Amino acid sequence: MEAALAALPRATPSALAPYYSQHLRWHSCGAPGFQCATIRAPLDYAAPGAGDVRLAVARKKATGKGRPLGSLLVNPGGPGGSAIGYLQQYAGVGYPAAVRARYDMVAVDPRGVARSEPVECLDGRRMDAYTQTDLTPDTRKEEDALVAADKRFAESCGAHSARLLRHVSTVEAARDMDIVRAALGDRKLNYVGASYGTFLGATYAGLFPERAGRLVLDGAMDPALDARRLNLDQTAGFETAFQAFAKDCVRHSDCPLGGRRTTPAQVGDHLKAFFRRLDAHPVPAGDKDGRRLGESLATMGVIAAMYDESTWQELREALTSAMRENDGARLLALADSYYERDASGSYSNLMMANAAVNCLDLPPAFTGPEQVEKALPAFEKASPVFGAGLAWASLNCTYWPVRATGEPHRIEARGAEPIVVVGTTRDPATPYRWARSLAGQLVSARLLTYAGDGHTAYGRGSACIDTAINTYLLHGTPPAAGKRCS
């Protein structure tokens, strides 16, 4: 059995005292009501005097008259998603009014992400080439091209972000959050994390169980799994979501993948056949930079739509345009949203930070193409539609310039207050089994289940889920053990 994450000493080491005694200097930023500040953290917690990393923090003060409950930190996941962007675009205005009335809504971009000394790798033009790399190689030449692309990406990150790459782990980001907590003047950390944000929040609870307040971990990850198992489970998760999409698609007259009598397996076969056509003959996409829709970008466009069932109609229309009208623009737009590429051809650092954190947190899933080839049957069994591409995509950490510092481990957080772990039964990116596993590891966890589709559950339309989480955040009362919503 994997070792459990060990809690840090309760007393703050003297070498870290200057970081814990910081005062945040707030200034107006972004939309009205938002404030921003910066805070320092040690680049290397083992050598606090060896340099700092500057972290961006944002908040929106509580808006109501009730008793203030302190700060509520939010993180949208990734890794690599901007928590500040999430706060300004959604959480600070879209979270339930009762929560925003009582909490100062706060976000910190983790080290290496967005506004917090972002990891930098490829420029926009080279990212365009990277995202079009063939992820289902049919020949040794195509296989070599895929390996070369992963090597170029890794070498570029090493060349442009050498100082940071050894210090963007989840453990370090969790320790940074404790410095932010102290600067905010909160005795305990209250937190809502989604997707990878659940791993970050659980890690915080494991390191500082006595300082963990009301924690909601929505769309939970399982820290006890190795990289290959995580990727394989996620592959199965996308297949589960696709099966739900397929059943929904054939109920609509505009479904380009089949009619009412078409089975989900046949829908998958039709989509795979379309991908194969694109592999040989990409279609125009109306892109000013000359990109065409090939198999890799089309696959990512479909995967992007699996995260939220409200996007399924958009996906049907995008597939119809590409398959029947030879116009890949809509499907390309979905892929661009996944990669956070804007109309100017610039990318956020999402995918760069994502690789940097993941490749530091766990040893690579595969040591080379030979292992991928041996694993292909398992991945294709997990998902006949996406398995091969996601198996080959798992090579991304194989050539990373920095060795992993993390290993699979359990997180127990003994001594923490009740922690709410949320799992969605047909979640594509964080399979429900991960939520069950994390809830089984955390000593004080309560598992809250949403029987439905999409990635994460809070704030996505279930009054049952939202009421349970709001009650916990506002009153400290966790949902009953085994509570299930639909």
Residue numbers annotated as active site: 195, 427, 455
* Under 8 Å between Cβ of 228 and 366: yes
List the structure tokens of 34: 């938002």
- Closest listed residue to residue 209, CA positions, set 17, 28, 443, 52: 443
* Under 8 Å between Cβ of 324 and 285: no
Q: For the chain, how far is it from start to end, CA to CA, in angstroms? A: 34
- Closest listed residue to residue 120, CA positions, set 346, 336, 349, 338: 349
Distance (Å, rounded) from C-alpha 166 to C-alpha 114? 17
Q: Say which residues have a Cβ less than 8 Å from residue 273's Cβ, sequence separation at least 6.
A: none
Distance (Å, rounded) from C-alpha 196 to C-alpha 194? 6
How many residues are there in the chain?
486
Distance from the Cα of residue 425 to its chain's centroid: 18
As a dihedral over the C-alpha atoms of residue 80, residue 86, residue 89, residue 91, rounded to 10 degrees, the angle is 170
- Closest listed residue to residue 359, CA positions, set 134, 204, 165: 165
